[in-house]
Amino acid sequence: MIIMMNAPTAEQINRVLDKLRHMGLDGHSITSADKTIITASGDLSACNPELFERMPGVNKVVIVGTPYKLVSREFQSKNTVVSIGDVRFGGDGIPVIAGPCAVESYEQLYQAGVSAKAAGAAMLRGGAYKPRTSPYSFQGLEKYGLEIIKTVGREVGLPVVSEVTDPRKVELIAEHVDMLQIGTRNMQNFVLLKEVALSKKPVLLKRGLAATIEEWLMAAEHIMSGGNSQIVLCERGIRTFETYTRNTLDLNAIPVIKHLSHLPVIVDPSHGTGSWRWVSPMAKAAIGAGADGLLIEIHPCPEEALSDGPQSLTLANFAQLMAELDALAIVLGRSINK
Amino acid sequence: MIIMMNAPTAEQINRVLDKLRHMGLDGHSITSADKTIITASGDLSACNPELFERMPGVNKVVIVGTPYKLVSREFQSKNTVVSIGDVRFGGDGIPVIAGPCAVESYEQLYQAGVSAKAAGAAMLRGGAYKPRTSPYSFQGLEKYGLEIIKTVGREVGLPVVSEVTDPRKVELIAEHVDMLQIGTRNMQNFVLLKEVALSKKPVLLKRGLAATIEEWLMAAEHIMSGGNSQIVLCERGIRTFETYTRNTLDLNAIPVIKHLSHLPVIVDPSHGTGSWRWVSPMAKAAIGAGADGLLIEIHPCPEEALSDGPQSLTLANFAQLMAELDALAIVLGRSINK
Amino acid sequence: MIIMMNAPTAEQINRVLDKLRHMGLDGHSITSADKTIITASGDLSACNPELFERMPGVNKVVIVGTPYKLVSREFQSKNTVVSIGDVRFGGDGIPVIAGPCAVESYEQLYQAGVSAKAAGAAMLRGGAYKPRTSPYSFQGLEKYGLEIIKTVGREVGLPVVSEVTDPRKVELIAEHVDMLQIGTRNMQNFVLLKEVALSKKPVLLKRGLAATIEEWLMAAEHIMSGGNSQIVLCERGIRTFETYTRNTLDLNAIPVIKHLSHLPVIVDPSHGTGSWRWVSPMAKAAIGAGADGLLIEIHPCPEEALSDGPQSLTLANFAQLMAELDALAIVLGRSINK
Amino acid sequence: MIIMMNAPTAEQINRVLDKLRHMGLDGHSITSADKTIITASGDLSACNPELFERMPGVNKVVIVGTPYKLVSREFQSKNTVVSIGDVRFGGDGIPVIAGPCAVESYEQLYQAGVSAKAAGAAMLRGGAYKPRTSPYSFQGLEKYGLEIIKTVGREVGLPVVSEVTDPRKVELIAEHVDMLQIGTRNMQNFVLLKEVALSKKPVLLKRGLAATIEEWLMAAEHIMSGGNSQIVLCERGIRTFETYTRNTLDLNAIPVIKHLSHLPVIVDPSHGTGSWRWVSPMAKAAIGAGADGLLIEIHPCPEEALSDGPQSLTLANFAQLMAELDALAIVLGRSINK
């Protein structure tokens, strides 16, 4: 159950919270720019919405049957559209984010960025702080990498997204990029989610490797209840018994998320499959499944990449894929460019 | 390693098998209508193909690095096309098999069959012998069900496919249907695979719920090495930790199978997701991923179905989906209707 | 809900079935030597047990909330004890079944059997019909293997168990062995389960590689509702993302099964882990978890085994393990030898 | 490959790193109190150890074939013993850590602590900062909780362990507890691992919900290469398709870890199974599998717990379990109490 109020007084809020407490329910008050929402959790079966609707300051009571409240379609039936400059996730367009796994040099990123732009990509990606399984692998160019991506983004005319892994670095990274990425290993790093919520930057929230759809939506709920509703979900493959592909890209999650939540959801077939060979067919499949965007790794020279080379498309392959995707999108009443 | 011979004598075959044995390798001789193939397994690293190519009766030696031999692309680079009447799996067309999970009555199947045909389906499905988790669930109409599907298929003008679960019933079922289905629970029922291989009917081989792609291809190898190469593979969802969908339809398997094998591969989004709600988006996704066909459950009255009602499309929804699929297929240079 | 009757007339049974049908419930009548049981499935919430208890021929109504009825603890609170000669599964003893994966020769099995007996094993195992992933692997000695295991069992004084994979071979195998094994790939081969139920021989029912505990109990229900209640369940590892061990032996299933069912449950750490190195610690762990028995692969010469050599213990290692297990069992108030 | 030096000069270190670079290898230098280690990764096949052993400052070259170096048994054959006061993990003893999931109040923790001590527990646990799936669940008493656990630990005479989730709080928490816990969701939070490495406090590193054994050891490698080798690994259940238990406690990991690594490994059957009902049998199983310790949740009043009540043992059940565990441990030549 969720109770929404418009510009209530502190006393009005406290009276609602008190009433919830007396009924054995757990109430939380969330205030953003223009409104206050109070969420209640616990056994709501005996709770009559009318009791609250009559209270001063209360506008409406919405019953939400799922553990996630604010991100649910029950709470908001209309699609959320996340805008980054001209790029819009959640509308009719299907923006494609492209770029290398890691920022390796200005030259590498510039070359990737120019080609991405030319092929119709809407945003540029590139990691500066890389979470790596091995402490002995390349860990990213860190602050220098941030400066590169900021510069290249401006030069080629694409907004940029980069991953944040440290709550102490959220502010720094937010100054350099247009969108913050939460990687798969940090989907339940709640400390980091809280910081990202406070930053108010749009967030790209990747699904955890073994996260259920419900846990993924709960992670988004952490961000949204922290005051930031500019969230784009990203399916990037789950861990299963199948080892031929590095992960199992779970496209079923796309229609399910569109049904359960108003948030846009995009697909990363590069990490999702782990090999460039499967990226094009799975990108087309993602469009068929109804994805609101794509995230595709490209590299001027995949065989020399410092990170995840085998899953990156060459710039030429990417350009060809974009043309094919656009034709598909049009049949479905959507479009890749715009 | 595979050694192929044209009409060799028994003595020529035995000399090859003897030579393999002397080298510590395991040889198997497979003879079908027009040719004999000898497969060898074991440590082939020290084995020189030329030693065999010079032997009388030997035509060619092909090195196949995978545990599956006959079904691999290394062995046969050209796509296998499985033909059932006019229906062709593995070519440019994308035939759709439609029908109810179980044959329940003549009326039910006739209604489904007429609608399937009208909407552009290429084949009619319906189970007469149902493998059910519970001994207390509906187990199928058995022989009577076979007669119904045979009759309805002829009346509506569609070839039919039905599941076989018992090696003692393969002959009976083969007399009634145009294609034999091996269900997910029987993918590694090798006794059944052997009988199906002997029947020479085209086979629809569903992927096991927890089968790796390699195990799936090995199951096909059992059938093909048994003398039947008319095999259509069918992805129908794997078991993962995600429980929101009944299974996780693994579309990644489509491009992977097309790469590893020459056999056609189709997709069953009905069992793959377990809910009619996800069937349409996942059917479109399957086309995007490059599937060679679809298997879709339809029912005149899903809420009254004796088996798997929740995942069946209504006849109206199916007709609409078919129109959408055809538009998509055309963009990809393929076609749903023939 | 289960309704039990003592020697009812056909008319009495039919009246109960009719009444169930009128209430929209699905009734099944199961008659074994001394009693008749009627199971009902469907929405039982509105069904009053008293309505049935007053009917002629009805002895008692038991409400069982799970989809499995006869195998549940709700239906029978006392442990089932499965007896094979002097060997008892489900009592205080913890019988150990030992032997090679496959019967390879009289000499091999005799050597294994003598050592197994000397070390305190209660039964001898050995496969004559082997389900193998590859059609090119050793498929077992078949009928000749059955004769060997029957002979060796008598000579060394141990009852024997062997796998059945073909419904047409159940009778033949039942003539040669004291217990029929249903392997992991056939756990949901319902055709085979039905034949095994009819044979009345004790059954060793291995858990499917990706079977939930509920599905496993449902497979047992197929056998028990078919008239055979001499069932021993066997945990042998499930398929997970972890690949370091061949399977993930799921010992959690032991206390869960003991809670949900009255059937005995044993553990196969050899297949469960896939390497002899983990067999001893996991065998001890199984005893700690409360297993009613063990199944351990041994081989006179593991490195020469035709099947699953890497997971077999040497005869010397097995003897040492048995001594350690016995000491553990005694602390827990049980015993390995008898 | 790992090259170890005793008190080398900076120049000597640089020369080794240079040489590695020239060979196309990636070198890392790790200096702790008394020694310097240089790890090398890349294609080591063509690298001759003697080339390095002759260099000034180099003591020994050790070839390690796994991606984890410092934590491997190849690198250090002798067990690491982690000592916290009198408590020793990795020796003959099997220390038991007990306590509630979350610190809720002084009274709750004191009661749990007194009972834990009386029953023979070696350490007290309790969470002050709780990572919770829902933003609306109890998040812990935070700093106040730390003060409680510090006080109670001293009063009852048990060292204490609590979870750290925020790199900015490592120092604060380290001041209050004797051991830092990295929870399952943060196993690959490399930013946090780095801070914990710097703190030099003993670390309890829980396995990630979907982490392979190799990834788990790589996480430990992050800590050990950061300068902290006081690491105790903790198996706590992995995510599988089985849903009857909350997680699947993977006891196979115990003998595997003991084989691959010199670090001690303990078992948490409370989170591992998710229900108090399976805690005792799985704790006994863990001892059988060779665990170096246990972590068991207890609560004075489980049904009122603010977090994970259903999996907590009552104080009475815990005392009984401890007596049973001790008897088992003695048979295996180990002991629960010291």
pLDDT in tens, D10-28: 888 899 989 888 888 888 8
Closest CA to B259 of A199, C120, D176, A244: A244
What does the pLDDT read at residue B25?
Answer: 83
| Residue B338 placed within a domain | no
Average pLDDT over residues B174-188: 98
| Residue C73 placed within a domain | no
For residues D257 and D279, what is the distance between their CA atoms, to the nearest angstrom?
Answer: 22
For residues B321 and D193, what is the distance between their CA atoms, to the nearest angstrom?
Answer: 51
Residues C57, C91 within the same domain: no
For residues A30 and D52, what is the distance between their CA atoms, to the nearest angstrom?
Answer: 61
For residues A146 and C331, what is the distance between their CA atoms, to the nearest angstrom?
Answer: 63
Q: Please say if the pLDDT value at position B33 is more than 70.
A: no
| Residue D284 placed within a domain | yes
Residues B205, B307 within the same domain: yes
Residues C138, C238 within the same domain: yes
| Residue A75 placed within a domain | no
- What contacts D183, CB < 8 A, 6 or more positions away? D131, D163, D165, D206
Average pLDDT over residues C263-289: 97
Ramachandran area for residue B24 (φ above 0: left; ψ -120 to 50: alpha; else beta): left
Question: Taking CB atoms and an 8 Å limit, are B214 and A328 in contact across chains?
Answer: no
Q: Which of B107-111, B189-193, C90-94, D11-15 has the lowest mean pLDDT?
A: D11-15
Neighbours of chain B (3+ CB pairs under 8 A): A, C, D
* Residues paired with D121 in a beta bridge: none
Q: Please check whether residue B49 is in contact with residue B10, taking contact to mean a CB–CB distance below 8 angstroms.
A: no
DSSP one-letter string for D237-281: -B--S--SSSSB--TTHHHHHHHHBSS-EEE-HHHHHSSGGGHHH
Helix (H), strand (E) at residue B311? none
Q: At what angle do helices B315-331 and B276-289 cross, to 10 degrees?
A: 20
Suggest the residue from D71, D182, D190 to mutate for an interface test with chain A (most A CBs closer than 10 A). D190
Q: Please say if the pLDDT value at position D171 is more than 80.
A: yes
Q: Which residue of B has its CA nearest to C238?
A: B210
DSSP letter at B97 equals: E
For residues C273 and C295, what is the distance between their CA atoms, to the nearest angstrom?
Answer: 13
* Residues paired with A313 in a beta bridge: A298
Q: Chain B residues with CB inside 8 Å of D239's CB?
A: 241
- Look over chain C and give the mean of its residue pLDDT values, rounded to a whole number: 93
Q: Please say if the pLDDT value at position D315 is more than 90.
A: yes
- What contacts C302, CB < 8 A, 6 or more positions away? C276, C309, C310, C312, C313, C314
Q: Residue A220 maps to which CATH number?
A: 3.20.20.70
Q: Please check whether residue C292 is in contact with residue C96, taking contact to mean a CB–CB distance below 8 angstroms.
A: no
Residues D86, D135 within the same domain: yes
| Residue B77 placed within a domain | no
Average pLDDT over residues B197-222: 97
- Look over chain A and give the mean of its residue pLDDT values, rounded to a whole number: 93
* Residues paired with D6 in a beta bridge: D35
DSSP one-letter string for C6-75: SS--HHHHHHHHHHHHHTT-EEEEEE-SS-EEEEEES--TT--HHHHHTSTTEEEEE---SS--TTBTTT
pLDDT in tens, B246-293: 999 999 999 999 999 999 999 999 999 999 999 999 999 999 999 999
Count of domains for chain A = 2
Long-range contact set of residues D246-249: C-beta below 8 Å, sequence gap at least 24: D246/D271, D246/D273, D246/D274, D246/D275, D246/D311, D247/D209, D247/D271, D247/D272, D247/D273, D247/D274, D248/C238, D248/C240, D248/C248, D248/C250, D248/C252, D248/D272, D249/C251, D249/C252, D249/D273, D249/D282
Closest CA to B313 of B100, B147, B77: B100
For residues B162 and B150, what is the distance between their CA atoms, to the nearest angstrom?
Answer: 10
Q: Please check whether residue B296 is in contact with residue B98, taking contact to mean a CB–CB distance below 8 angstroms.
A: yes
Q: Chain D residues with CB inside 8 Å of B240's CB?
A: 241
Q: Chain C residues with CB inside 8 Å of A241's CB?
A: 210, 239-241
CA B59 to the chain's CA centroid: 30
| Token pair in block for residue A23 | 């009924």
Q: Please say if the pLDDT value at position D338 is more than 70.
A: no
What does the pLDDT read at residue B286?
Answer: 98
Q: Chain B residues with CB inside 8 Å of D240's CB?
A: 241
Q: Please check whether residue B198 is in contact with residue B227, taking contact to mean a CB–CB distance below 8 angstroms.
A: yes
Q: Which residue of B has its CA nearest to A246?
A: B252
The secondary structure of chain B in percent helix, strand, coil, rounded to multiples of 5, reads 40, 20, 40
DSSP letter at D79 equals: P
| Residue B25 placed within a domain | yes
**Number of other CB atoms surrounding residue D98 within 10 Å:** 30
| Token pair in block for residue D205 | 């590193």
For residues C98 and C269, what is the distance between their CA atoms, to the nearest angstrom?
Answer: 11
Neighbours of chain C (3+ CB pairs under 8 A): A, B, D
What does the pLDDT read at residue C50?
Answer: 83
Task: Give the CA dihedral B269, B271, B273, B279, nearest 10 degrees.
Answer: 40
Percent of chain C with pLDDT over 90: 74
What does the pLDDT read at residue D89?
Answer: 98
Residues A30, A115 within the same domain: no
Question: Taking CB atoms and an 8 Å limit, are B218 and C185 in contact across chains?
Answer: no
| Residue A7 placed within a domain | yes
Residues B225, B300 within the same domain: yes
| Token pair in block for residue C286 | 């199984």
Rounded to a whole number of angstroms, the distance from the CA of D42 to the nearest CA of chain A is 10
Q: D251 — contact with chain C (CB < 8 Å)?
A: yes
- The pLDDT-based confidence of C332 (bands split at 50, 70, 90) is very high
Task: Work out whether the CA dihedral D43, D45, D51, D52 comes out positive or negative.
Answer: positive
- What contacts D260, CB < 8 A, 6 or more positions away? D66, D72, D73, D213, D217
For residues A101 and A271, what is the distance between their CA atoms, to the nearest angstrom?
Answer: 9
Query: E-strand spans in A52-178?
Result: 58-62, 82-84, 87-89, 96-99, 123-125, 160-163
Domain enclosing residue C51, as ranges: 2-62
What does the pLDDT read at residue C334?
Answer: 96
Residues C185, C54 within the same domain: no
* Residues paired with B248 in a beta bridge: B238
pLDDT in tens, A55-87: 888 888 888 889 999 999 999 999 999 999 999
Nearest to C133 among B166, B191, B218 (CB): B218
Q: Chain D residues with CB inside 8 Å of C290's CB?
A: 281, 284
- What contacts A22, CB < 8 A, 6 or more positions away? none
**Number of other CB atoms surrounding residue A55 within 10 Å:** 15
| Residue B22 placed within a domain | yes
- Look over chain B and give the mean of its residue pLDDT values, rounded to a whole number: 93
Residues D189, D127 within the same domain: yes
Residues B171, B309 within the same domain: yes
DSSP one-letter string for A78-101: SPP-EEETTEEESSSB--EEEE-S
What does the pLDDT read at residue A286?
Answer: 98
Q: Chain C residues with CB inside 8 Å of B170's CB?
A: none
- What contacts D51, CB < 8 A, 6 or more positions away? D19
Distances (CA, A) of B197 to A224, B80, B89, B229, C116: 57, 16, 18, 8, 40
pLDDT in tens, B54-82: 888 888 888 888 999 999 999 999 999 99
For residues A298 and A112, what is the distance between their CA atoms, to the nearest angstrom?
Answer: 7
Rounded to a whole number of angstroms, the distance from the CA of B243 to the nearest CA of chain D is 8
For residues C129 and B35, what is the distance between their CA atoms, to the nearest angstrom?
Answer: 29
Q: Residue C28 maps to which CATH number?
A: 3.30.70.1140
Residues C107, C168 within the same domain: yes
What does the pLDDT read at residue B200?
Answer: 87
- What contacts C133, CB < 8 A, 6 or more positions away? B67, B188, B215, B218
Q: Please check whether residue D262 is in contact with residue D71, taking contact to mean a CB–CB distance below 8 angstroms.
A: yes
Average pLDDT over residues D86-91: 96
Rounded to a whole number of angstroms, the distance from the CA of B311 to the nearest CA of chain A is 14
Neighbours of chain D (3+ CB pairs under 8 A): A, B, C
Residues C177, C322 within the same domain: yes
Exposed/middle/buried for residue A193 (C-beta within 10 Å: 0-12, 13-18, 19+): buried
Q: A169 — contact with chain C (CB < 8 Å)?
A: no
Q: Please check whether residue C160 is in contact with residue C125, taking contact to mean a CB–CB distance below 8 angstroms.
A: yes
Residues B117, B264 within the same domain: yes
Nearest to A167 among D41, D166, D210 (CB): D166
